[in-house]
Amino acid sequence: MVKENGIMSEIKSFSDYTSKYNSNVDYSALFGGTSDSSSVGNTNMLSDYAAIKNGSYGKLMKAYYAKQDAEKLSGKGDTSQKLTLMKTSADSLKKSADALNDASLWEKKKIKKKDEKTGEETEVEDYDWDAITKKVKSFIDDYNDVVKEAGESNTKDVLRNASWMTGMTDKTSHLLSKIGITIGKGNKLELDEDELKKADISSLKTVFTGYNSFAGKTAQKAAGISNAA
C-alpha cells in the first residue's frame, strides 16, 4: 500500500501509476530529455524506461507522482456534497469509537443463557458479548466507510488525518489480531466474531478504552477529518 502525500491508493506496479493518473507522461522529463540525433542517447533512455518498469527507479517515480499529487490537491478540492458525506461518516466513526469507551460495556452483568440441548435457561454473570460485538461491528463499519471516502478525497487535511489513522492502525495490527480484527484490502478492517468473543477482556479494554487507546486515537482523527471536511 502506497501512501504518498496521504493518497491511499493501491499502487503495486509501474502500470498502476499511469492508470491512476490517466496520463501519457513524457518520462524524458525525469532524465533531462533525449537527442534524436544520438542513437546512444535513445538506447540509454529506453534502458531507463525498462529500469523504471523493473522497479529500479521506484523511489524516483514515487517522488515524481507525489509532486503531481501535491499539485493536484492544491488545485482543487471536493464538492460540498462529498465533504458533507465525509463529515457525516467521520462523525459516525467518532460516535462509535466513543461508545466503545463506555465503562458499563466492560462490566459483567447478569445474563440469561439457554442450554441448546435441554432448552433450560439459567442466569449467569458474564460480559454481554452480544452488546460488545454489536458495538465493535458498528465501529469497524464506520471506520471502513471513512477509509473508503477519504481515499477518494482531494482535500489535503482529510487525507492527512486519514493517512495518520490508517498508519496508526497498521502499527496496532498485532494487537488487533489478538481480538479478531485484521487489516484487509484497501486498508479496511475485517472482524472475526468468534475470535472476538474468545479474546481476553483485558486485551479488548486495552484496544477500546482510554484516551490513548486505538479507539480513542481513532476518535481523535475522526474529529480531525470531520473538521477538515
- pLDDT for the residue 135: 98
Residue 87 and residue 46 share a domain: no
Residue 34 and residue 64 share a domain: yes
Residue 42 and residue 87 share a domain: no
- The tens digit of pLDDT for each residue in 46-79 reads 554 444 444 434 444 454 455 456 555 554 668 8
- CA distance readout (Å), 42 to 20, 28, 51, 221: 27, 10, 14, 49
Residue pair 111/47 in contact (Cβ under 8 Å)? The answer is no
Residue 84 and residue 186 share a domain: yes
CA contacts within 13 A on the Cβ side of 201 = 10
Residue 11 and residue 45 share a domain: yes
Residue 179 and residue 120 share a domain: yes
Number of Cβ within 10 Å of residue 197's Cβ equals: 14
pLDDT(24) > 70: no
- Number of domains observed in the structure of the chain: 2
Q: What is the mean pLDDT of residues 151-158?
A: 87
* Domain end point (choices 75, 101, 123): 75
Expressed as residue numbers, the domain containing 201 is 80-228
Residue 223 and residue 117 share a domain: yes
